[in-house]
Structure 1
Amino acid sequence: MNPARRCSALLSQMCISSLEGSTTRRALSPVPSAIPPVEIRCHYHGWENIGRSLKSGGASTRGTVSVSPMGSNGSRLYSAVAQTLNSNTLDQTDENLDHKNLTELDPDQLLRECEEALRRRPARPHRDLIYPQDAPPCRHKLGPSIRIMQWNILAQALGEGKDGFIRCPLEALNWSERKYLILEEILTHRPDIVCLQEVDHYHDTFQPIMASLGYHGSFLAKPWSPCLDVEQNNGPDGCALFYSRSRFSLQTTLHLRLSAMMLPTNQVAIVQILNCQLTSKQLCVAVTHLKARSGWERVRSAQGANLLQSLRSITSRSRGSNVRSSGTNPLVVCGDFNAEPSEDVYRRFRSSPLGLDSAYKLLSADRQTEPPYTTWKIRPTGESCSTLDYIWYTHDSLSVDCLLDIPTEEQIGPDRLPSFHYPSDHLSLLCDISFKEAP
């Protein structure tokens, strides 16, 4: 039996659509479309005008989009998109809380399946875990490290239908192989918490696989995803947050729609309060994806301010409700901010009363400089090499033990990202953090 069939056999044991007919060698979970194209009615607001006039956002208009499954992958009805998002905090029940009937996958076996399925591709360049030099010693660590991954994985509909990566072969963007490469990256590092952006294959790929690997997942789609503009899309993209069920239990999940200048925008965030089962400590984790493109700096700054305000309220409430709290609730914020360190939203986070610092500055010699890039792509408009992705943490209550290094220009290659060995136009970020024990 070829590797894809073995992997498909594993996936067929989970609560997803059953396989029918023959399976191609490189397909991870080819699910036939038992669901016809779905007509989703969405309300969308005039948020695109916020950055131009800073005053718009008048009456909503109504659009109708015909959504079909991408390729051979089936998908659920994206009911979250069908409703108008009128409030800043979205009160939604967390998905898939009952995992009793899921068959657990062996991560080592699944990793081998990924590697076998990708054997025709160039070997993925190795990235080392770097332990920051000259870091002040932390003598009061509490419990083992927590591994956190941050990654904009590139929405499939955007990669194939809108982004126009002129140096990336179309075959490299094929979902039937690209998903293996994304899973291989996650399985190689085995993070305890995974924060993803541009996820448009949550229900048919990431949620069932990650659940069977021992993760709990939460997903929040953008109110009006650009993926829906692409023919043969797989539904809207959004943010996803996964945590290891063996390491954490869930206290609270909040789904936020970010605002700018008191107007709702198309960007969202997921915030969760997690209880660490090894230390009985709480950890607040947030994942977000701010507005893209040049010219929208003021909107990103306002979105960041809105998120910080929400996080202050959430962490203060959780401290008050937890008698075990020492008064400082550790916080980690991961995201594609679409903002260089020179932007105002970066300065907002760095100077926030929450006491946040950027983990990846620790890779630099002066411990004050971000990496030279976290995304590097070539589009028809030209080449773009930028630092846009961050892992923020409360430096008074958390310490960074190590970080995954940034590939060199030579390792990335002349065609930049994405490519046959990098599945996204963004690099994954990963660090190990530890709780600081109160002196």
Structure 2
Amino acid sequence: MYYSGTTASPSRSHSLSNDPAPPWSRGPHPVLAPGSAQHAQAVPQGPQSPGYLVQYANGHHAQHPLPHQHPHQPPHQHQIQHHQHPHQHPHSQHQHQNSLSGYHSPGSVHAQSTGRSTTPGAPNGPPVIIPPHWQQQLHRAELCRQASAPHHRARAAALASRTSAKSAIPITAPVNVAAPKPVQADATNGTHQRAGSVSERTDTSEDRASSAANGHPSANTAPVVNPPRPSAERKPASTWTTLDMGGMRLKNISQSLFTLDYLTTLYINHNQLTSIPPEISRLRHLILLDISSNQLVSLPPELGMLSSLRELHAFDNRLENIPPEFGTLHQLEMLGLEGNPLQPSLRIILQKDGTPALISYLRDSCPVPAPPPERQWRVLLPDDPEPGTETFSVISYNILCEKYATSTMYGYTPSWALNWSYRKELILAEIQNYGADFICLQEVDVAQYEDYFFKKLGEAGYSGVFSPKSRVRTMSETERRRVDGCAIFFLSEKYTLIEHHLIEFAQAAHTRPALRSTEDWFNRVQNKDHIAVAATLVSRATGTRLIIANAHLFWDPEFRDVKLVQSAILMDSLKVIADDFADMEVAGGQKNRYSKGTQIPLIVCGDFNSAPEDSGVSEFLSKGHVSGSHPDFMGHQYGPYTSEGPRHPFELRSAYAGIGELPMTNYVPSFQGAIDYIWYGTENVDVAAVLGEVDKNYLSKVVGFPNAHFPSDHVLISAEFRILPTKEAKPSKSTRKR
């Protein structure tokens, strides 16, 4: 039975106060408040062994298979006959037999309002203190045990819905009925919002503020929220997201269930299931899963792929172990395992420190899976170029800055794999493995550039240029070393650096007075300190000039206008750099064969935080212009950029356009998509080959990056280019020497 409702479990609303109280809960507790001998005879004590009577909320009793005799009671008073509900699961007769410890379930009901819940120890011994984590476990187990009737949650939700609907009907005089307000198109979520747009709202404002405080978009703040992403997967539309199949005595699950990938809540409790199919991993949007009171002896490792899970109830089964792959369930708040013969090492962690500690233990102790196959090169041009053809290769890689890679932000990644000492060596090895002529890195902080990459890549024959974000000017020496920026490395034996340019998007108004006249510029763009760097170089062998640019745009989908303005400023700046470079007389006697900047081979790399389709940034870079009324401007005003529309003269194309953009360059649980690019000027450069995608079979078993094999949440992209013959240009009348 399905129903439409919130993702919270209907069982949470059940109150134990209306339950028929078990006999040991009436009157003073025999240990905490002992009375007279007559009173002790009149009020039976609580259970002293794993087998004891449980009375459900619906009035039915369950007698456990290990009956015991109270020392002060005759046998006939304690052993009450069990009357089983026609639909009650037979397996319920063992549910407390496999409890995780001596903490008996009724003990959790004993003192729900006290800070120090206790349960009886020996008949005359001191009370046993129940840890807070275990109180929650016992309380949640009791609620789940009450849901043994067929479709219990669905019926409860339907009843609650009818009750609330009746109470919510207002009684209003006809003359006081307000006219409906007209629906207005919102610049963000109204008519300008396109279905599936990369810039659509994907988080709550609270979530966005939390992530913004952390300063990085790639965070998954475990174990509560998903952060905003440049884009996020949208759940398929459905009128219902919760399915209740509980109490049906099912022995198997149909595969068609796993096609309902929009489900957020699934109840398959109180059945006779002996296994859970691994295909359950397809239900990626599940937040609550209840598989309690079945006959499960193991759980599939594929459940670890359900990274959105916050509650997994597996009470009263026969589980002795938990797959280490559950360590990727970084948002899990409750792993219900009461009533299972769990191995002691896991049981102790769960009782003492709760679910988050157990998940962390599983995450860090999980065996390293097999590495993926090598990524293959996709060849676009014949392998045998014409004699004299000049070639070069480029890498672009967002390496995930050290300060952003925390266990709070990447709760699914083992702590050892998140450690910078491990990741930096993997990053360096990956870069050197491809041996590119140019290496463009984003999110490199000052300390790692100076102390590690510049030295290590220098030993491999590279020189480099680097600029941190603009905030570095206002910081102390210690703080500035943690500021990230963009770096370009090049093989010094093949190329000579002519100039290094820093492009600060927030400072563009100094040379563009029209931007200073708009409030949106100051409120939305100028307070973002993202940058780009550009290097002008000359081939030592041929004298060919190249311009290599590396950019990192703002990430927030609520500011897609900012990303579009930043890309416009980037291309405006590169036009000035290219024209100046074409007009320059390079020292060394090389003949100037460029009459204009667009004749110089241009490569623009970076993390653009924009999808290939339906984003103003990609449209602008690939087409050379966008309308000033483009939806991604979101109705904001930016002088000539919105009155006329931004333009650039370079005929740019993505290196991956020939085969289609990669399925993803950024891979985290909340987002998988292509947001990193290598653009090239088609007037004088052609792409010969590109590095292919990550193995799909490998990705199907991975929640997100970074992990043991991929040191960043982005993947490295690379391309090989050939320079096309250029007609010799007439020397410019005004040249400047360098």
TM-score (norm: length of structure 2): 0.39
1:434 to 700, 722, 726: 722
Q: 2:668 aligns with which of 377, 396, 403?
A: 377
- Is the CA contact (8 Å cut-off) linking 2:444 and 2:486 kept in structure 1? yes
Q: Which has the higher helix share?
A: 2
CA–CA distance in structure 1, aligned partners of residues 704 and 553 of structure 2: 23
Determine whether 1:349 maps to 2:621.
yes
The alignment status of 1:421 with 2:709, answered yes or no, reads yes
Matches within 5 A, 1:28-67: none
C-alpha distance in structure 1 between counterparts of 2:482 and 2:539, whole Å:
33
2:641 maps to 1:396? no
Partner residue in 2 for 1:5 = none
SS in 2 for 1:345: helix
Q: 1:188 aligns with which of 411, 422, 433?
A: 433
Deviation at 1:372, TM superposition (A): 2.0
Aligned partners of 2:686 and 2:721 also within 8 Å: yes
Unaligned runs of 5+ residues in structure 2 are: 1-198, 200-367, 509-514, 586-590, 625-648, 728-738
Aligned: 1:153 with 2:403: no
Partner of 1:235: 482
Q: 2:576, 2:693 → 1: CA distance?
A: 34
Give the counterpart letter for 1:184 in structure 2. Answer: A
1:333 is aligned to 604
For residues 110-134 of structure 1, give each alpha carbon's deviation from its aligned partner in whole angstroms, at most 9, with x where no partner exists.
xxxxxxxxxx8854641111102xx
Secondary structure at the counterpart of residue 471 of structure 2: coil
Name the CA shift for 1:160/1:232 in 2 (closer, same or farther; >3 Å): farther
Contact 1:142/1:437 (8 A) holds in 2: no
Matched, 1:320 2:583: yes
The structure richer in strand per residue is: 1
For 2:479 and 2:416, how far apart are their aligned partners in 1? 17
Q: Which consecutive residues of structure 1, in runs of 5 or more, have no partner in the other structure?
A: 1-50, 52-119, 365-369
Larger deviation: 242-251 or 408-417?
Answer: 408-417
- Structure number with higher relative contact order (C-alpha < 8 Å, ≥ 6 residues apart): 1
Q: What is the CA distance between 1:137 and its match in structure 2? A: 11
Counterparts of residues 168-317 of structure 1 (less than 5 Å): 168-200=413-445, 201-224=448-471, 235-259=482-506, 261=515, 263=521, 264=526, 265-317=528-580
Task: Decide which moves more: 407-416 or 393-402.
Answer: 407-416
Deviation of 1:419 after TM superposition, in Å, equals 0.7
One-letter identity of the residue aligned with 2:423:
R
Give the aligned partner of residue 152 of structure 2. none
Determine if contact 1:222/1:237 at 8 Å carries over to the other structure. Answer: yes
- Measured against aligned partners, the alpha-carbon deviations of 1:314-358 in whole angstroms (never above 9, x if no partner) come to 101111124522431110000000111221111111122211110
Is the contact made by 2:407 and 2:413 (CA closer than 8 Å) also made in structure 1?
no
CA distance in 2, matches of 1:285, 1:210: 18
Return the alpha-carbon distance in structure 1 between the equivalents of residues 577 and 399 of structure 2. 27
3-state SS in 1 of match to 2:534:
strand
Which of residues 357, 379, 401 in structure 2 aligns to 1:131?
379
Deviations 1:372-413 (A, max 9, x none): 2111102xxxx2112110000001200111111011332233
What SS does the corresponding residue of 1:310 show, helix, strand or coil? Answer: helix
**Map of 1:358 onto structure 2:** 654
2:538 maps to amino acid: N
- Please tell me the residue identity of whatever aligns with 1:307: L
Measure how far apart 1:280 and its partner are. 1.2
Give the Cα separation in 1 of the matches to 2:385 and 2:463. Answer: 32
Give the Cα–Cα distance (whole angstroms) in 1 for the partners of residues 369 and 495 of structure 2. Answer: 36
CA 1:422/1:221 → structure 2, altered by over 3 Å: closer, same or farther?
A: same
The match for 1:36 is none
Alpha-carbon distance between aligned partners in 1 of 2:460 and 2:494, rounded to the nearest angstrom: 13
Alpha-carbon distance change, 193 to 406 in structure 1, aligned in 2, over 3 angstroms: same
How far residue 305 of structure 1 moved from its aligned partner, in angstroms, is 0.3
> What pairs with 1:15-34 in structure 2 (closer than 5 Å)?
none
In structure 1, C-alpha distance between the alignment counterparts of 2:653 and 2:692, rounded to whole Å: 18
Identical-residue share of aligned pairs (%): 28
Name the TM-score, length of structure 1 as normaliser.
0.65
- Residue identity in the other structure for 1:222: K
Give the AA of the match of 1:346: S
- Identify if the C-alpha distance between structure 1 residues 125 and 275 changes in structure 2 by more than 3 Å, giving closer, same or farther: same
3-state DSSP of counterpart to 1:362: coil
Amino acid at match of 1:399: D
Which one-letter code corresponds to 1:397 in the other structure?
Answer: N
| CA distance in structure 2 between the aligned counterparts of 1:210 and 1:434, rounded to whole angstroms | 24
CA distances 1:46-83 after superposition (whole Å, capped 9, x unpaired): xxxxx9xxxxxxxxxxxxxxxxxxxxxxxxxxxxxxxx
- Which 4+ stretches in 1 moved above 4 angstroms? 135-142, 231-234, 260-263
Q: Give the SS at the match of 1:224.
A: helix
Structure 1 residue 142: deviation in Å? 4.9
Q: Distance in 1 between matches of 2:493 and 2:583?
A: 26
Distance 1:141 1:240, change over 3 A: farther
User: Counterpart of 1:245 in structure 2: which amino acid?
Assistant: S
- CA deviations on 1:237-281 (whole Å, 9 max, x unpaired) are 110110000110011111111137555431111111110122210
What SS class does the counterpart of residue 275 from structure 1 fall into?
Answer: strand
Shift of 1:138: 10
Do the aligned partners of 1:195 and 1:239 also contact (CA within 8 Å) in 2?
yes
The one-letter amino acid paired with 1:401 is A
SS of residue in 1 equivalent to 2:501: strand
Task: Provide the C-alpha distance between the structure 2 equivalents of 1:390 and 1:252, rounded to a whole number of angstroms.
Answer: 23
